[in-house]
Homo-oligomer: A and B are copies of this chain.
Amino acid sequence: MSALASVERDLRAAVAAEVIAPSAAYLTDQTEARGLGGRADAVALPHNTEEVAEVVSWCYAHGVPIVPRGGGTGYAGGAVPLDGGVVISLERLDRVRSFDPLLWRIEVDAGVRTAELRRVAREGGLLFPPDPGAAEQSQIGGNVATNAGGPHAFKYGVTGAWVTGLEVVVPPGEVVQLGGALRKDVAGYDLKHLLVGSEGTLGVITAAWLRLTPAPEAAWPVIGFFDGVRGGVGAIERVVGSGLTAAALEYIDSETMRYAGASFPGEVPGGAFAVLAEADGSTDEAARIRADLLDVFGEDALALYAPESPQEIAALWRWRDGLALVVDAQRGGKASEDIAVPLDRLGEAIEASLEVGRSFGIPACSWGHAGDGNLHTTFLLAGDDDRELELAPKLSEALFELALRLGGTISGEHGVGFVKRNWLAKQLGPRAFELHVAVKRAFDPQNLLNPGKKA
């Protein structure tokens, strides 16, 4: 650790970027709901890549930890500074550098918000498919750094599948370009994909070249309500087994529906487990897939809901995107994880994860990206009850253990951050974990980039 008298004052004197005292907004992310908060010495607000490089360079020369920060919407504590150092917030790197709609590509600063990126693409007739929650707050740099997913990852893949190039500041403070406006590149190891999902522990992502795809003419969601986990997971397996290429394939368990049913923009049969699928493509194609989904769901659904108007469809997705907030509001606190399992273990994983809550006497509910085997099981904690908040790590660990037992992963899309760091070695095994650590050391020999995270 640094022997500087004042990191904030010294950094301010040394670099062009604005440097401010750490305020609460820069010390937390979504893990605040489980009681996690951090401590930093200063916050740097660079305007461009050169200013980022200057801050990294100064920190590296002075042995000061560096915590890159995007929109702060993470669920793993990845943006929480654990024990001092400088938070580098990318929020002012917010330019679209270039947009070539006729070539299906865009280059953006890391601080461009995900929803803004999607809007710009859409105005050019194109789609940037990844749609993690909190798109109005989250930034593309953070999305890349966590390899964010979302409902449409089922058809379109996660964020990393759309990244063709990255600009990154790596220790001790140099700017490197990994890839670019290229759709194919096998020169050199795939360092770009190594940075994707690295959670700020290998470098600070300052810009990204992204692929885009023509926006589908139509996107129609269909919801089926089923009898319990078995019924719902059976429907999910039938969709996949029928070879239906749904754009999204989500589940919302009956407990989540109990909290969120009142705001659902349609009728909800009591106690039902919901499956949401989306049909997209040309109008004809989307109509065909929608009809097939209704057929497959119809075999044993308790009820169906298939909105057609843009307003109803938008309302349905707003409702889906708001699930986490509705659940948050129930008891004031929560612990939520994002384990993923092979699709054939999905039902077992949902049931066992709910059983974890029961065994601790904590209310639990579960929803997630069914087609990708990705669960968001959430434990509802009383926000003012320290005893319950202290259960958060134990509840999470029971989920991680479950994931590994079922051949899954401790993180499908949120990353490892601080919360899961002790579980990574268990998942990877000793030799792969050694290689993981060796890669970290190759990029960041002083362990100053987001220390205590990811490994």
Residue ranges of A at the interface with B (Cβ–Cβ < 8 Å): 100, 102-105, 125-126, 146-147, 149, 153-154, 157-158, 160-161, 170, 174, 176-178, 180-191, 193-194, 196-198, 202, 213-215, 237, 240-241, 243-245, 281-282, 284-285, 288, 340-344, 369, 371-374, 407-416, 420, 423-424, 427-429, 431-433, 435-436, 438-443, 454-455
Q: Given that A181-B407, A409-B187 are known contacts, is A176 also in contact with B442, CB under 8 Å in the complex?
A: no
Contact residue among B240, B341, B428 (Cβ-Cβ distance under 8 Å from A188): B428
Q: Given that A189-B198, A191-B439 are known contacts, is A245 also in contact with B213, CB under 8 Å in the complex?
A: yes
- Inter-chain contacts of A443 with B (CB < 8 A): 435, 438
CB atoms of B411 and A187 under 8 A apart: yes
- Inter-chain contacts of A182 with B (CB < 8 A): 340-342, 373, 407-409, 412
Q: How far is the CA of A397 from the CA of B154 in the complex (A)?
A: 42
Q: How far is the CA of A409 from the CA of B181 in the complex (A)?
A: 10
Q: Given that A102-B237, A443-B435 are known contacts, is A186 also in contact with B147, CB under 8 Å in the complex?
A: yes
**Least distance between A430 CB and chain B CB atoms (Å):** 9
Contact residue among B160, B188, B241, B414 (Cβ-Cβ distance under 8 Å from A102): B241
**Least distance between A451 CB and chain B CB atoms (Å):** 16
**Least distance between A322 CB and chain B CB atoms (Å):** 22
- Inter-chain contacts of A414 with B (CB < 8 A): 186
CB atoms of A190 and B196 under 8 A apart: yes
Number of copies: 2
- Inter-chain contacts of A126 with B (CB < 8 A): 243
CB atoms of A125 and B187 under 8 A apart: no
- Inter-chain contacts of A435 with B (CB < 8 A): 170, 176, 191, 442-443
CB atoms of B340 and A183 under 8 A apart: yes
CB atoms of B100 and A160 under 8 A apart: no
CB closest chain-B residue, reference A124: B243
**Least distance between A165 CB and chain B CB atoms (Å):** 10
CB atoms of B190 and A160 under 8 A apart: yes
**Least distance between A299 CB and chain B CB atoms (Å):** 16
CB atoms of B342 and A185 under 8 A apart: no
- Inter-chain contacts of A342 with B (CB < 8 A): 103, 105, 180-182
Q: How far is the CA of A190 from the CA of B178 in the complex (A)?
A: 15
Q: How far is the CA of A231 from the CA of B191 in the complex (A)?
A: 37
CB atoms of B147 and A424 under 8 A apart: no
20 A-B residue pairs with Cβ-Cβ distance under 8 Å, sorted by A, are: A103-B240, A153-B184, A176-B432, A177-B429, A180-B342, A181-B342, A181-B407, A183-B372, A184-B409, A185-B412, A186-B409, A186-B415, A188-B454, A188-B455, A189-B194, A189-B454, A190-B196, A193-B193, A193-B194, A435-B443
- Inter-chain contacts of A176 with B (CB < 8 A): 428-429, 431-432, 435
CB atoms of A180 and B407 under 8 A apart: yes
Q: How far is the CA of A103 from the CA of B215 in the complex (A)?
A: 27
CB atoms of B411 and A186 under 8 A apart: yes
Q: How far is the CA of A190 from the CA of B439 in the complex (A)?
A: 10
Q: Given that A178-B432, A442-B439 are known contacts, is A197 also in contact with B191, CB under 8 Å in the complex?
A: no
Q: Given that A100-B344, A285-B281, A439-B439 are known contacts, is A412 also in contact with B184, CB under 8 Å in the complex?
A: yes
CB atoms of A190 and B194 under 8 A apart: yes
CB closest chain-B residue, reference A340: B184
Instruction: Give 10 closest A-B pairs by Cβ, nearest first.
Output: A438-B442, A193-B193, A214-B243, A102-B241, A184-B412, A181-B342, A185-B409, A176-B432, A183-B372, A174-B431
Q: Given that A343-B103, A432-B191 are known contacts, is A412 also in contact with B186, CB under 8 Å in the complex?
A: yes
